Amino acid sequence: MPVAELNGVRIGYDLHGDGDLVLLVMGTGSPGRVWNLHQVPSLVEAGYRAVTIDNRGIARSELGSGELTIDHLVGDAVALIDHLGGGPASVIGTSLGARVVQELLLARPDLVSQAVLMAAHARLDPVQRALSAGERALHDLGTTLPPRYRAAVTALHNLSPSTRADENAIKDWLDVFELSGAGADAGTRAQLALAEFPDRLEAYRAITVPTLVIGFADDQMIPPRLSREVADAVGSARYVEVEDCGHYGYLERPAQVNELILEFFAEL
């Protein structure tokens, strides 16, 4: 579990396999090891060198001083690619991680050979912004929700109706969510504040790196219409929508998601 000094802060990462480099960037509040469940083994088996990063404030990574910005996360991704020998690398991001990758494609296209964006978005709608503001308020008030209740809310927000309808499977999901934490810590709180940002759709029209955008049909956190917007704006992008999965589609339908990623990488 290596840690590197990048841009003045300690950033945790994990490296697996050999071959061409693939950087995977997680969403709000999630450590990079979430990718180890399904995506990393698939990439390593296909002959890639997969690196997962703990975004600032999460797990082994320091938050740093001052207000967290998306540019900090982009800069850390750039520094990690350079730390591992430089690009171009393939890059995968989901949710907040997709935003990081989108901004990376604008700032340093020379470092990226191809990109996969899951739950991509150039803006958030009022409900999503209100939900993020509410999560921040709970943290600021010191409110801790009962673990089982928080697990149920997490399931409603992030899993598809088809997954929730499987009563045996959903019990396992609820157990995982209940054990995963009681709420937002300081790092997650800082990342939640990144939900307040201006519409970036016009800026993303300048992206030229080959890009695959994957939307999740039942995603309530980042509805697939927002992901399709990004794909339509990026001239080099292709859009694919995966059925019967929500915001955690890469965990609900990993075989299908992994197949899409590997087929896209193989084409290029």
Average pLDDT along the chain, 268 residues, taken 10 residues at a time: 93 97 97 97 98 95 95 98 95 98 98 98 94 94 93 96 96 93 82 96 98 98 98 96 98 98 95
Side chain identity at 140, as an amino acid letter?
A: D
pLDDT value at residue 184: 72
0.85 exceeded by pTM: yes
State the Cα–Cα distance between residues 93 and 107, nearest whole angstrom.
Answer: 16
State the Cα–Cα distance between residues 254 and 235, nearest whole angstrom.
Answer: 27
Query: Measuring CA to CA, which residue among 107, 123, 118 is closest to residue 209?
Result: 107
Residue 172 dihedral angles phi and psi, to the nearest 5°: -65, -40
CA Rg value for the chain: 17
Tell me the helix, strand and coil percentages in the chain, rounded to 5.
50, 20, 35
- Tokens, residue 8: 């003045």
pLDDT value at residue 57: 94
Q: Give the CA angle between residues 248, 209, 120 to the nearest 5°.
A: 25
pLDDT value at residue 244: 97
pLDDT value at residue 49: 98
Of the residues 30, 132, 219, 227, only one is catalytic, namely: 219
Other C-beta atoms closer than 10 Å to the C-beta of 224 total 21
Of the residues 72, 121, 139, 247, only one is catalytic, namely: 247
Q: Is 132 a catalytic residue?
A: no
- Bridging pattern class, strands 9-16 and 49-53: antiparallel
Give CA separation, 51 vs 60, 77, 156, 190, in Å. Answer: 15, 11, 30, 23
Q: Is 83 a catalytic residue?
A: no
Q: Is 42 a catalytic residue?
A: no
- Tokens, residue 41: 């083994």
Query: Do 116 and 47 form a contact (C-beta atoms < 8 A)?
Result: no
Q: What structural domains does the chain harbor?
A: 3-124+198-267 (3.40.50.1820)
Q: Name residue 211's beta-bridge partners.
A: 115, 237
pLDDT value at residue 183: 66
Of the residues 30, 42, 61, 95, only one is catalytic, namely: 95
